[in-house]
Structure 1
Amino acid sequence: MPVEILTTHLNSRHASGVSDDRSLYAYQRQVEFLSRFVATNHDPASPLIMAGDFNMGPRPSRRSLLLGSVRGMSNDRGRAIVRDGLSSCLSNPADRIAQSADARWILKRGRDWQFMSDGEHVGLKATHAAVPFGRAGGAEMLSDHMGFSVDYQLNHS
């Protein structure tokens, strides 16, 4: 079963060098485009992973736009299909990532995400996450972002 993978990098508020209002307008247009792109190109039979620098941050306006759009993506039966892979792993106390200050910082910062969605007959489950490029244990960050990975498992129904 194929898994569709979408990556993106949405505009940043300050780095864009424009006013907050203009930056929010651009962000809104990008989120709308992303939603249309998924609706037009994603095969609902296949699981989907959407990952990237979504540059949502702690801003309520951006958070509302992005998470509202992501939660609005649904399959033909109207069931919401999108979940956050890192948060899923953080909620599992058996996964060492649940104690990771770096992972909690990634979610609090709200820029980098891996959203996942089931296919029609194939579920997608986040099974483990790691932050190999964070601050814990003397690890080196490669940029102003902490690099994280999520392992996924396909579940056939």
Structure 2
Amino acid sequence: MTYNVEGLPSLVRKGRGAALKRIGYELAAMRAKGKEPDVVLIQEGFRDEIWDLIDESGYPYVARGPRKGQRDENYLKSEKPDFRRVKYRRQGEGWGKWGSSGLWVLSNHPIDWVKSHAYRYCAGLDCLANKGVMLVSIQVAGLPTSVEIADTHMNSHGASKVPRKRYNEAHALQTQELGRFLQASRTPGAPLIVGGDFNVRRSPDRFDKMMSDYPFVVVSRWCHERPGACDTQISYTGEAPWLNTQDLIGFLNGDAVEVTPKAVEATFDGADEPVLSDHNGYKVTFSLTPKG
């Protein structure tokens, strides 16, 4: 499951601490019924109360994405992008990082290792957070190899408070950074699952650019193109339902493990769980099958 929990600082959002703890409580309630997601990818886990969510949820393994002070290799250095990194100071650029990436991975399965990358390029208010990507390797019983899972949160649209051209350019550069990070960091031949808040809703150009740079297949697109292949308990309207949301999950088969989406559903949408964020949770159930 991927879930942007809206764990923003109190100066930006009031009352979010209690909501984070309640999310943890609801995850624990799912666990009591045997219905909790095996892995939860969190975005916007900025506040200290994110630990209340983690403690309440009961997940035994936890990994954290880039912290406030993390600075990483510029994957695009050789290409010298025509992008001035500080242009709109009144909208938060050049103020430094006020928060971490807000990325967390909670897992029922042991985590072998964690790698992460803080995006170098950003636009507007998004620059106040050290947005980026994290990649974890988890052990799943019965599989011949570990499964690698990435979590990311990319530059917003209008919420960044800068012109469209500016935030689109930043998003495109982050898209390239994510692609280079996965290429450099993942284990060749390992099965891969990627999720997070990609900020591509109603943005076909952003989505197409993303898919031209990434190796993975988006679940909602895969299911839409194969009617009946997935137990879809979520609204898929229009010709491109993957553009109806910011939150996506993708996958890539491994050399020794086949990854197949089986079910898709919304969580924390007011049905079985209350609405506790400005996003719903997005849950995909995969079949992971050894090959041969």
Instruction: Quote the residue 1:28 is aligned against.
Output: 172
The structure-2 alpha-carbon separation of the partners of 1:155 and 1:128, relative to structure 1 and needing over 3 Å to count, comes to: same
Instruction: Quote the residue 1:85 is aligned against.
Output: 219
Root-mean-square deviation (CA, aligned residues, Å) is 2.3
1:131 CA displacement: 1.2
The whole-number CA distance in structure 2 between the counterparts of 1:95 and 1:28 is 31
The whole-number CA distance in structure 2 between the counterparts of 1:148 and 1:118 is 21
The structure-2 alpha-carbon separation of the partners of 1:65 and 1:95, relative to structure 1 and needing over 3 Å to count, comes to: closer
SS at match of 1:44: coil
1:113 CA displacement: 0.5
Unpaired segments ≥5 residues, structure 2:
1-144
User: TM-score, normalising length from structure 1?
Assistant: 0.79
Instruction: Quote the residue 2:61 is aligned against.
Output: none
Matches within 5 A, 1:38-53: 38-53=182-197
The whole-number CA distance in structure 1 between the counterparts of 2:222 and 2:269 is 19
1:94 CA displacement: 6.7
The structure-2 alpha-carbon separation of the partners of 1:65 and 1:131, relative to structure 1 and needing over 3 Å to count, comes to: same
Instruction: Quote the residue 1:79 is aligned against.
Output: none
The whole-number CA distance in structure 2 between the counterparts of 1:67 and 1:142 is 30
1:89 CA displacement: 4.5
**More helix per residue:** 1
Instruction: Quote the residue 1:134 is aligned against.
Output: 269
1:51 CA displacement: 0.3
* Count of equivalent residues: 144
1:85 CA displacement: 2.4
Instruction: Quote the residue 1:155 is aligned against.
Output: 289
- Aligned-pair identity in percent equals 27
SS at match of 1:140: coil
> Is the 1:141–1:147 contact (alpha carbons within 8 Å) kept by the matching residues of 2?
no
Larger RCO of the pair (alpha carbons < 8 Å, separation 6+)? 1
Instruction: Quote the residue 2:74 is aligned against.
Output: none
Instruction: Quote the residue 2:159 is aligned against.
Output: 15
Instruction: Quote the residue 2:202 is aligned against.
Output: 58
The structure-2 alpha-carbon separation of the partners of 1:145 and 1:107, relative to structure 1 and needing over 3 Å to count, comes to: farther
- Asked if residue 117 in structure 1 is aligned to residue 261 in structure 2, the reply is no
Unpaired segments ≥5 residues, structure 1:
74-81
Deviates more, 1:113-122 or 1:124-133: 124-133
The whole-number CA distance in structure 2 between the counterparts of 1:16 and 1:95 is 35
SS at match of 2:174: helix
User: TM-score, normalising length from structure 2?
Assistant: 0.45
